[in-house]
Chains A and B, each alone.
Chain A
Amino acid sequence: MTTWEGLLYGIGFALQPGILIYCVLGVVLGSFVGVLPGIGAMAAISLLLPVTYYITAEAALIMLAGVYYGAQYGGAVASILMRLPGTPQSAVTALDGYPMARSGRAGVALFAAMASSFAGSILGIAVLVLLAGWLTRAATAFGAADYAAMMILGLVAASTIGTERVAKSFAMVTLGLLLGCVGTDVNSGVQRFTFGQTELLDGINLVALAMGLFGVAEVIGNVRDPDRQAVAERIGLRAMMPGRDDVRRMGWPTLRGGALGSFFGALPGTGSTLSSFLSYAMERRVAKRPERFGHGAVEGVAGPESANNAAAITAFVPTLTLGIPGDPIMALMLGALVIHGIQPGPLMLEARPEMFWGLVASFGIGNLLLLILNLPLIGIWVAILRIPFRWLYPAILVFVCLGVYSVRGLTFDIVAVAVIGLAGYLLALARFSPALLLLGFVLGPLIETNLRRALLISRGDPMVFLERPIAVGFVLASAALLIASLWQAFRRHTGPDRPRTT
């Protein structure tokens, strides 16, 4: 089946009423849970898993996928209006989206997020369709050393670019990596840092960590703030129209973010969180005036939103073609397929074309629906988020608790959220970045596994990182970033002494 035949076949398949209804259901539910701070795609998909027993495998996958990328749209809304990321991927969007909302440009920020999300998704779909086979081969050419080097570059890039205090960023990444070690060591079966708690055997719950660091810590920081309110303005369609200047600023970041997201999404183990971080870092680096970032630069919204949506689409490449889930949510998707007795792998594109092409077509249809639906629905999301904070935060706390509880059904995780929330509050007070901690936590186990595998294959010779052409590129890029940031720190240190204002 050629690409065009496949695509046409897929569109026909996805437009069947019995499939389309699940696509619509998925994206609407996804937007809703994305907007609600405290429950993300992860919890929603876990909750929906039992439901998928009763529908066909294709409908199940299309619905769950819809929840996933729908939540990316919704997550941006909560990030921009309340600085509460509904999903970990949209944490970066809050950095500039929230300052934009605070300065009365919430409508433009939302439009930028929606438009770039859509553009990024379309780019991701194009990459997925045209390069599905090629990307699979490229991904299989990646050895363990290449994976490890690539993920280390991701961490170095995220902690050196865009931060003034590099040591603090690295400390957070390292703490995240260390927290990622908690649980059963996959190679030896040794229980590390579990202190006899059976709840910690699988490691610290990612949802508990994200909700504690972002949800609970944010609530604590704002309870005493009497002016805390979601947004101060009414957002109509007119307010969402960006100026000519905004459109000009959005174009390239959206394209760059989409390209970055398509690439990193397709590589197993990186996923959309890393690509939104990288996109933000990149936009900040190439900007003529990087000091605008963090104070409401539209590029800081468009780039990462395009990147995480593109990555959310291309993340399906390794999942469907290699059976390797790129992130925890993809692991849940894989679980849904296995429930239906389908083992994703290199043969699936041939054996079940309706699965692959139907899903691809549903991405296009679903994203179009999200764009059309979300423009009028913004009013409703804003109405929800306009309520004064004191009316909202008790409900947010309860939703966070139940969202975390829904993942594994353990009250241990709710108490863990409180402990993590305290730590997150203290870290925010001392101006350490909890987002970097989360990134280190997600990548930690993957880096360790690949590092150990690479050195096992090379018989303990660390030169393997300099001999493989892919790995050496990542190593050199990491080294360059490190040297550049050390040089900047040195220049700052020897330069004129300025008082710290922040």
Chain B
Amino acid sequence: MRRDWPDIWGGLVLAALGAAALGWTLVHYDLGSLRRMGPGFFPATLGALLAVLGLVVALPAWRRTGASVPVHPLAALAVLASVVIFGLGLSRLGLVAATALSVLIATLPAPFAGWGWRIALTVIVPALTVVIFSFGLQMTLPLWPRLP
């Protein structure tokens, strides 16, 4: 039997998150009383609630069949890498280079062959970004790599 893995894993991860939040709160923050709640009261309650809800989601799913879920690890990796590289590169590489690099990486997992459209995007999007954000909206952004 194919179990309902998304619910099992999702529920268990949420339960673990809730338990972790509860534990961290109990160790670090003051609970206070009902009359004068401390900073820990609300998060501790929520952590306990999330732990219970996670189990309520996960346990019944063990005895149930579920559909398989298509996962695209390469797409996720490329898109996330593109965002992270933009974030880390913006102040050092400048807007133009950071945008070009992150666009190129983002296009890699798309199921279309050829480099023509990828290169075109790598040129068009940075140009568009500079026109809209730097000239149009007057955001103060470094355009070019910072020289050492």
Contact = CB atoms under 8 A, between A and B. Distances in A.
Interface SS majority for chain B: helix
B37 A455 contact: yes
Contacts of B39: 185, 187-188, 190, 192
A432 interface: yes
A390 B139 contact: no
Contacts of B90: 401, 405, 411, 414
Given A175-B14, A415-B84, A402 B117 contact: no
Contacts of A398: 86, 99, 102-103, 125, 129
B30 to A, nearest CB: 8
Given A167-B53, A175-B14, A394-B103, A190 B29 contact: yes
Contacts of A399: 129
Interface size on A, as a range, is 35 or more
B65 A500 contact: yes
A192 B43 contact: yes
A219 B65 CA distance: 29
Contacts of B33: 460
Nearest to B17: A175
A71 B66 CA distance: 39
Nearest to A168: B57
Nearest to B81: A418
A237 interface: no
Contacts of B103: 394-395, 397-398
B46 A402 contact: no
A232 to B, nearest CB: 18
A455 B111 CA distance: 57
Contacts of B117: 390-391
B115 interface: no
Contacts of A422: 76, 80
Given A174-B49, A398-B125, A500 B109 contact: no
Contact of B7 (A415, A426, A430): A430
B31 to A, nearest CB: 12
Nearest to B71: A429
Interface in B80-101: 80, 82-84, 86-88, 90-91, 99
Given A175-B14, A224-B111, A411-B87, A394 B29 contact: no
Closest 6 pairs (CB-CB, A-B): A460-B35, A414-B87, A430-B10, A430-B6, A223-B75, A185-B39
